[in-house]
């Protein structure tokens, strides 16, 4: 049964230049975006009304033409998971009030906040970008779930997830692969890992959910059970 989330009500608008410019490109292009060595994003050229109005093909060509300096280190840019996909991720993870959900690379906090609002789930969101964490904290306050959730600036590769029962990911493959040994070492039996669109190397998922989301894009959700 589908759960209807009012994420846009919960989270409000994101920075359009960030989300829409990228989100109009196929979601798999997340991996085409590379950051400079100092961690900042490469510039998005204004095209007419600005990056937020960039056409998908133009954006894809721009990404493909990025120079080598822009290709280190793997870091997922902020592309928000749409509300209907958040809902399916929570259902695939079988989230309930007894869970502790960690979103590694939490962006504006929408997954953690939705779980708290709908199920009363306690949650932790970490993001490497301080602006996202500020945004997530403001969104949690607006949603009235501050008492259930915590957001902090942290590298997902340094996050202690040992008290998590659910971990959600929407990162790039290279990061997922690096995370795997940490997840399997720290998570306890019964914990679940759910990833949006990106597998974790050759780790065989226990469940896969493929569907077309409300925005017309094909989505793949993966679930791994910790044994
Ligand atoms: C694709 S967005 C996903 C946001 C959110 N989880 C969602 O599904 O809407 C990826 C997020 O991960 C963050 N990120 C990228 N690399 C990270 C890392 N190594 N550690 C923590 N956060 C990271 C980015 O700043 C960005 O906000």
Q: Which of 25, 35, 107 to mutate to test the pocket of ligand 1 (most atoms within 8 A of CB)?
A: 107
Using CA atoms, how far apart are residues 222 and 158, in angstroms rounded to an integer?
A: 22
Using CA atoms, how far apart are residues 220 and 202, in angstroms rounded to an integer?
A: 16
Predicted confidence at residue 76, as pLDDT, reads 87
Using CA atoms, how far apart are residues 155 and 178, in angstroms rounded to an integer?
A: 12
Residues of the chain with CATH 3.40.50.150: 7-11+77-225
Nearest CA residue ID for atom 26, ligand 1:
78
Predicted confidence at residue 53, as pLDDT, reads 38
Q: Which residues contact 210 (CB under 8 A, 6 or more apart)?
A: 218, 219, 220, 221
Predicted confidence at residue 47, as pLDDT, reads 31
Helix (H) or strand (E) holding 182: helix 173-186
Predicted confidence at residue 27, as pLDDT, reads 37
Using CA atoms, how far apart are residues 72 and 27, in angstroms rounded to an integer?
A: 20
Predicted confidence at residue 201, as pLDDT, reads 98
Predicted confidence at residue 99, as pLDDT, reads 98
Ramachandran assignment for 142, one of left (phi > 0), alpha (psi -120 to 50 degrees), beta (any other)? alpha
Q: Which segments of the chain have a pLDDT < 70?
A: 1-73
Predicted confidence at residue 30, as pLDDT, reads 60
Predicted confidence at residue 60, as pLDDT, reads 40
Predicted confidence at residue 41, as pLDDT, reads 38
Ligand 1-lining residues (CB < 6 angstroms): 30, 75-76, 78-81, 103, 105-107, 110-111, 126-129, 132, 155-157, 170-171, 175, 196
Predicted confidence at residue 73, as pLDDT, reads 52
Predicted confidence at residue 161, as pLDDT, reads 98
Q: Tokens 């989270």 map to which residue?
A: 11
CATH superfamily name and code, 7-11+77-225 = Vaccinia Virus protein VP39 (3.40.50.150)
CB-CB contact of 63 with 33 (8 Å) = yes
Beta strands in 31-148 (DSSP E): 100-104, 122-127
């Amino acid at each position: 049964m589908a759960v209807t989330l009012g994420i846009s009500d919960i989270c409000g608008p994101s920075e359009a230049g960030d989300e829409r410019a990228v989100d109009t490109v196929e979601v798999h292009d997340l991996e085409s975006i590379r950051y400079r060595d100092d961690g900042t994003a490469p510039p998005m050229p204004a095209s007419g009304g600005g990056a937020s109005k960039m056409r998908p093909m133009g954006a894809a060509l721009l990404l493909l033409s990025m120079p080598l300096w822009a290709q280190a280190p793997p870091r997922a840019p902020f592309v928000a998971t749409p509300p209907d996909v958040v809902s399916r991720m929570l259902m695939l993870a079988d989230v309930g009030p007894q869970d502790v959900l960690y979103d590694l690379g939490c962006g504006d906090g929408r997954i953690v906040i939705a779980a708290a609002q709908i199920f009363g789930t306690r949650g932790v969101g970490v993001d490497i970008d301080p602006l996202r964490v500020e945004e997530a904290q403001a969104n949690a306050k607006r949603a009235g779930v501050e008492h259930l959730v915590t957001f902090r600036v942290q590298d997902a590769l340094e996050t202690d997830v040992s008290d998590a029962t659910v971990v959600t990911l929407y990162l790039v493959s290279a990061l997922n692969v690096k995370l795997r040994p940490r997840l399997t070492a720290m998570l306890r039996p019964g914990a679940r890992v759910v990833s949006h669109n990106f597998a974790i190397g050759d780790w065989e998922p226990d469940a896969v959910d493929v569907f077309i989301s409300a925005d017309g894009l094909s989505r793949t959700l993966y679930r791994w059970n910790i044994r």
